[in-house]
Every structure is written in structure tokens, then in C-alpha cells.
């Protein structure tokens, strides 16, 4: 159920409170999940949130000032804010859509020792992928839904604690990652990708594991799944065409991979997104 934003002048926000409209919210066992929408551009006053949280930019433009440095987020970026982190934001002219997972109560007590004391950004990496998976579970009401959501949160915390800021990766590693993203249909070998990045294959393999927390093959598989998930969520998309464009052998191959990775078929995922919307 939607709700209005916080009162004017508020600067210390509780879990589930945000500037902008809270389009939907789910809260259970210390996990507060919110869909937050800003319909138009504006600057927000300096403020902090009482609960630590993971933020996923779903759509739109969003800028944040961390200390004296401005950080621009792109759709698909995920970022972590520790509790009581003071910051200010600016919403782009077209507005934006954020998904937020905040931690409190017993859940926070379990994972708090692993949470960083400073903000972290992940542009399209494992943390962002897990945050997107958690968003897909927002509308789930089956008996296992709460357990699934708690499990994804634990994966999020683990992934966050294992590697540093996604924007600190070396240029050659970003080139390799951009090459993967730019041609999901290609049958990449480690040697091909290393040549595109201009480094030795062994160095490339170590770099992917160190910065992204996964192997080159794992990352390519996940990028294909993430691209397919974004595509099938669009109304009217052709599943066979999506499968081909995202590097799957056929629609059946994509469906099997979807079920293993997300626990649902592409059609069921589309229905969940429509119910959230």
C-alpha cells in the first residue's frame, strides 16, 4: 500500500520512511522492503536513516553527495548505507524509482558484525544482482517467501563484506566486463576476453574473483540471466527472442536457467513485476 513521504524538515528517518512516495512496503522479522518513487526532479535536504540499508536504483537519475564528492548512479546500481550516515541527494528531472531493503531487529543483530561502516557502491555487480532478486520477492506470499528473503539478505551481506567498492576496479577489468555486457551471445573464452582487456588470462581470472566475487564464467552466466530478467519484465516481449539475444540456446534453455537461478519461470516473474507495478 502506498504512503506519502516524510514531513517537511525531518532529518532522521526511521525504517520505511523516505522523501518521495512509498509505493509499496513489506515488513517482517526486521526486514523492511520499500518501493520509493519520485515523480519529478528536486534536491533533498541533508538527512540520515536510522536503519542500515541496501538501495537499488530501478529507473531514473539519482545523485548523492558523500562528504564533498558527488556520485551519480545509473539504473541497476546498488549501494549500501550504514545506519546514521549523513548525506544529501538530488533527483533527476524525470524523477526516479528506488527499491530499498532496510535491516532492523534480530536480523540486523545477526549480520551487523559483517556490515561496513562506510557507504559502498556496486554498479551492476553481485550485490546489485542480489538486490534485484530481493525486489523480485517483494510480492511473494507463499509459505517459503520470508525464508527466501532472509536468505537473499544474508547473501547480500556476505557479498558486500567480501569485496570493496565496485567503482575502484582497474580500467582493464572494466574493459573486460564491458566486453561481456556488450556481446552476451558470444561464446567467450578466457583467452578471448583477456585479449580484449589487454592482460594475461591468469591476471584477468584473479581480478574478476577479487573485485566482483565471482569467476568470469559465473559473471557471464549471471549477466545473461540479469539481461533476460530485465527483458522479460517488459510487457509484450517475445521470450524466444529474449533467449536468443541474451545468449541462451533457446527458450527452454532460458526457462531452465531462470528456474534454477530465481526459483520461477520467466512468465511467473513477469506476473510478479506486474503485480508490484
Q: Tell me the sheet residues that pair with 69.
A: 66
Angle 98-115-221 from CA coordinates, rounded to 5° = 60
Q: Are residues 151 and 173 in the same domain?
A: no
Mean pLDDT, rounded, of the chain: 84
How far is 162 from 50, CA to CA, in rounded Å? 24
Which of 74, 57, 70 minimizes the C-alpha distance to 20? 57
Same domain, yes or no: 216 and 244:
yes
- Where a domain ends, among 166, 192, 223? 166
Q: What's the pTM?
A: 0.66
* Contact by Cβ (8 Å): 86, 66: no
Element (H, E) at 138: none
Which of 166, 187, 202 lies at the terminal end of a domain, its last residue? Answer: 166
Q: What is the CATH number of the domain that holds 125?
A: 2.60.120.280
- Between CA 256 and CA 265 the distance in angstroms is 8
Contacts of 114 (CB under 8 A, 6+ apart): 157, 158, 160, 161
Q: How far apart are CA 207 and CA 247, in angstroms?
A: 24
What is the H or E stretch that residue 191 is in?
helix 190-197
Residue pair 114/158 in contact (Cβ under 8 Å)? The answer is yes
- Is residue 34 domain-resident? yes
Domain final residue, candidates 166, 192, 209: 166
Q: Indicate the pLDDT class of residue 56, thresholds 50, 70 and 90.
A: very high
User: Which CATH number goes with the domain that contains 183?
Assistant: 1.10.10.60
Domain hosting 257: range is 169-276
The answer to whether position 7 is within a domain reads: no
Residue 107 contacts residue 153 (beta carbons within 8 Å): yes
Query: pLDDT tens-digit profile of 188-212?
Result: 999 999 999 999 999 999 888 877 7
Give the tens place of pLDDT for each residue, 76-113. 889 999 988 888 899 999 999 999 999 998 888 888 88
Residue 1 has pLDDT above 80, yes or no: no
In whole angstroms, what is the distance from residue 20 CA to residue 35 CA?
A: 10
Do 130 and 224 fall within a single domain?
no
Do 138 and 175 fall within a single domain? no
Beta bridge pairs of residue 27: 32
pLDDT of res. 199: 93
Amino acid at each position: 500500500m502506498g504512503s506519502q513521504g516524510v514531513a517537511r524538515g525531518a532529518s532522521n528517518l526511521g525504517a520505511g520512511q523516505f522523501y518521495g512516495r512509498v509505493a509499496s512496503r513489506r515488513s517482517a522479522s526486521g526486514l523492511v522492503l520499500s518501493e520509493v518513487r519520485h515523480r519529478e526532479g528536486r534536491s533533498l535536504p541533508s538527512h540520515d536513516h536510522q536503519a542500515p540499508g541496501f538501495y537499488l536504483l530501478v529507473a531514473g537519475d539519482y545523485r548523492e553527495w558523500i562528504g564533498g564528492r558527488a556520485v551519480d548512479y545509473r539504473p541497476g546500481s546498488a549501494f549500501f548505507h550504514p545506519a546514521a550516515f549523513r548525506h544529501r541527494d538530488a533527483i533527476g528531472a524525470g524523477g526516479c524509482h528506488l527499491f530499498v531493503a532496510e535491516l532492523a531487529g534480530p536480523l540486523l543483530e545477526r549480520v551487523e558484525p559483517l556490515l561496513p561502516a562506510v557507504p559502498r557502491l556496486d554498479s551492476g555487480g553481485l550485490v546489485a544482482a542480489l538486490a534485484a532478486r530481493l525486489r523480485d520477492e517483494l510480492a511473494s506470499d507463499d509459505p517459503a517467501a520470508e525464508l527466501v528473503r532472509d536468505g537473499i539478505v544474508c547473501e547480500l551481506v556476505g557479498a558486500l563484506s567480501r569485496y570493496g567498492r565496485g567503482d575502484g576496479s582497474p580500467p582493464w577489468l572494466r574493459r573486460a566486463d564491458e566486453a561481456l555486457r556488450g556481446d552476451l551471445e558470444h561464446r567467450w573464452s578466457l583467452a578471448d576476453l583477456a585479449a580484449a582487456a589487454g592482460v594475461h588470462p591468469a591476471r584477468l581470472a584473479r581480478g574478476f574473483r577479487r573485485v566482483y566475487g565471482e569467476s568470469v564464467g559465473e559473471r557471464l552466466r549471471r549477466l545473461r540471466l540479469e539481461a533476460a530478467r530485465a527483458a522479460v519484465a517488459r510487457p509484450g516481449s517475445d521470450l524466444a527472442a529474449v533467449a536468443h539475444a541474451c545468449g541462451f540456446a533457446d527458450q527452454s534453455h532460458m526457462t531452465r536457467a531462470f528456474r534454477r537461478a530465481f526459483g520461477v519461470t520467466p512468465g511467473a516473474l513477469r506476473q510478479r513485476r506486474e503485480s508490484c507495478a
